[in-house]
């Protein structure tokens, strides 16, 4: 078997692929921050809520961390129309990844909240700090140092996991690669190129997260 590689055919579509890469980052960014909002309320509920609230949150976490995100998005995109709720592919993917992320981030953020020692709070009170000052200078820095690495890793996982959107016709990076490969039949070259793009995306995201962590929270985060 003789196969002639023709990467030039794929590289000619590089601007199109880079547009998909931006959409990939958008999906990951929205899913992360919306999921973090859910996770924050979930974590606070698990730590400070009553037994009914804790049970409800635990049920949510168990369900969404033990079922595939693909199945959850399938339900949103294909089952909800039977109930009269029609979502666009992008909306279904973002909602699905958000509620899935929220379940994981609930436990991650809960770990950060529990890591704050009572002695640190009492010391801040003795020093006469206000509630906002305690949050800004004691609680948040401590939580950030504890969970910044897991949060960064989770964001990178979302960047890679957003390729699931291609199944629903969202033209992020993998979706656009599928479009190109079905047109030019250069599957090896096409997916080799997007593999490199994904590596660059994760490297840039890791570098940005590491710099933000060191600048904002003095967290010595690794790039890889």
- Reduced to 3 states (helix: H, G, I; strand: E, B; else coil), residue 159 is helix
The full set of domain ranges for the chain reads 13-216
CA distance linking residue 1 with residue 93, whole number of Å: 40
pLDDT at residue number 177: 95
| Residue whose pair of structure tokens reads 């929205």 in the numeric block | 30
144-156 residue pLDDT tens: 778 888 888 999 9
End-to-end CA, the chain: 38
Residue 163 has pLDDT above 60, yes or no: yes
Q: At what angle do helices 187-216 and 173-184 cross, to 10 degrees?
A: 160
The pLDDT of residue 27:
96
CATH assignment of 13-216? 1.10.3720.10
Interval 40-55: pLDDT, tens: 899 989 988 899 999 9
| Model confidence, pTM | 0.87
| pLDDT digit string, tens, across residues 191-223 | 999 999 999 999 998 888 888 777 766 666 665
Alpha-carbon distance 136 to 81, whole Å?
A: 45
Q: What would you report as the CA-atom Rg of the chain, rounded to the nearest whole angstrom?
A: 21
Helices (H), 49-88: 51-65, 69-74
Query: What integer pLDDT is reported at residue 206 of this predicted model?
Result: 87
- The CA distance from 218 to 211, in Å, is 9
Q: Are 163 and 172 in contact (CB under 8 A)?
A: yes
Whether pLDDT at 168 is above 90: yes
Q: What is the mean pLDDT of residues 12-36?
A: 95
The pair of structure tokens assigned to 87 is: 């979502």
Mean pLDDT of 130-147: 76
The rounded mean pLDDT for the chain is 89
Best-predicted range by mean pLDDT (11-25, 111-125, 126-140): 11-25
The confidence band for 128, taking pLDDT boundaries of 50, 70 and 90, is: confident
Structure token digits, residue 183: 């047109």
Over residues 1-9, mean pLDDT? 82
């Amino acid at each position: 078997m003789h196969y002639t590689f023709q990467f030039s055919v794929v590289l000619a579509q590089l601007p199109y692929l880079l547009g998909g890469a931006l959409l990939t980052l958008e999906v990951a960014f929205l899913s992360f921050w919306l999921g973090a909002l859910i996770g924050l309320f979930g974590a606070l509920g698990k730590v400070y809520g009553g037994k009914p609230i804790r049970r409800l949150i635990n049920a949510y976490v168990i369900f969404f961390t033990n079922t595939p995100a693909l199945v959850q998005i399938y339900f949103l995109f294909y089952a909800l129309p039977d109930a009269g709720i029609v979502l666009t592919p992008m909306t279904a993917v973002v909602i699905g990844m958000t509620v899935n992320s929220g379940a994981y981030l609930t436990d991650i953020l809960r770990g950060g909240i529990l890591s704050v020692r009572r002695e640190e709070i009492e010391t801040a009170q003795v020093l006469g700090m206000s509630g906002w000052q305690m949050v800004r200078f004691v609680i948040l820095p401590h939580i950030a140092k504890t969970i910044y690495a897991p949060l960064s890793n989770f964001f990178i996982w979302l960047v890679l996991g957003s390729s699931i959107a291609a199944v629903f016709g969202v033209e992020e990076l993998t979706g656009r690669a599928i479009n190109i490969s079905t047109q030019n039949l250069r599957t090896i070259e096409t997916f080799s190129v997007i593999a490199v793009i994904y590596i660059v995306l994760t490297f840039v995201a890791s570098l940005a997260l590491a710099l933000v962590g060191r600048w904002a929270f003095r967290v010595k985060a690794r790039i890889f």
